[in-house]
Amino acid sequence: MNRPKVYVTRQIPEQGLDLLRQKAEVLVNPEDAPVPRAQLLDIIRDCQGVIGLLTERIDAEFFDAAPELKGYANYAVGFDNIDVPEATRRGLPVSNTPDVLTNATAECAWTLLFSVARRVVEADKVMRSGDWPGWGPMQFIGGDVSGKTLGIVGAGRIGTAMARMSRGFGMPVLYTSSSGRKNEVLESELNARLVPFEELLEQSDFISLHTPLTPGTRHLFGAEAFARMKRTAYLINTARGPVIDEQALLQALKTGEIAGAGLDVYENEPALTPGLAELDNVILLPHIGSGTESARADMSVLAARNLLAMLEGEKPETCLNPEIYD
């Protein structure tokens, strides 16, 4: 019996690839860059399974190009790159990789929070330049963290983990919920409060974004939101770039409407809005939220397990359209 053919659109940790190779013929893109669209559609024409990234658009055109496809596994927790209703209409399972990157991404959010508040990159730049004149009482004064109010926009897995990590700093926690449901974990452990979005903007000293990208959250943070935030507040984004209107953010940072921002994702990734890179009050990371050895390895294994289940006609562990199995 012929082994199924699987295409992996970027190099991922070997743990997942090794698992795939036990049961499938595996072809991996050797370049550390997205495959051009036309080339991708040509490659998958005889594939039964694909593992891809957020950089690939998984839509009707993609499915049409792969008539033998039995499933698609996203190597990411986000899935706004996938037309899930179209996959469901065709009876094709699609999946993502939640849970395994929760702590890594929450830790990255804290890295951004401390770095922008304490002006770490600015200070590091001065030390590397050789121009530091010595300690001075007015140098690199940043924002306090302990006891300040933390606002969580999107208190799902990662937002909850981010909030729980605040316990050592005695931070009051506010959060929003698109469903209106309370987060019992945060309320019982941290005395966190579910508040309207506008109140969170006005009361928070740090706002950390963990919401998925939906039509309702695109440009959730624009000029109106920044106008409501404290001038001493910081915005952290490890969720999805288009949740922020970067032009509006640029103006808010340049005018001091907010104190600073820490970004790991971008509105037009990998492009950066012109002007952001020149500002000292923003920290810019290249989408490394899940970038720890264990998180990336576990993502590869989960994506591989999901795809192998699809190839065998079974429901994957983290299926995005489980109703096709009903």
263 phi/psi in degrees, rounded to 5 = -120, 135
The set of residues, in sequence order, having a beta carbon less than 8 Å from that of 133 and lying 6+ positions away, is none
Task: Give the Cα separation of 309 and 325 in Å (integer).
Answer: 12
Is 287 a catalytic site residue?
A: yes
Phi, psi of 262 (to 5 degrees): -130, 120
∠ CA 299-55-97, rounded to 5°: 20
- Strand runs (DSSP E) across 135-264, as ranges? 150-153, 173-176, 193-194, 206-209, 234-237, 260-263
89 with 103: CB under 8 angstroms? no
Catalytic residue among 90, 193, 218, 287: 287
From the list 10, 240, 296, 305, the catalytic residue is 240
| Choice among 25, 86, 269, 314 that is catalytic | 269
Q: Tell me whether residue 240 is one of the annotated catalytic residues.
A: yes
Please report which residue ranges of the chain form alpha helices under DSSP H: 14-21, 37-43, 60-65, 84-89, 102-117, 120-129, 157-164, 184-190, 197-203, 223-228, 246-255, 293-311
Catalytic residue numbers read 240, 269, 287
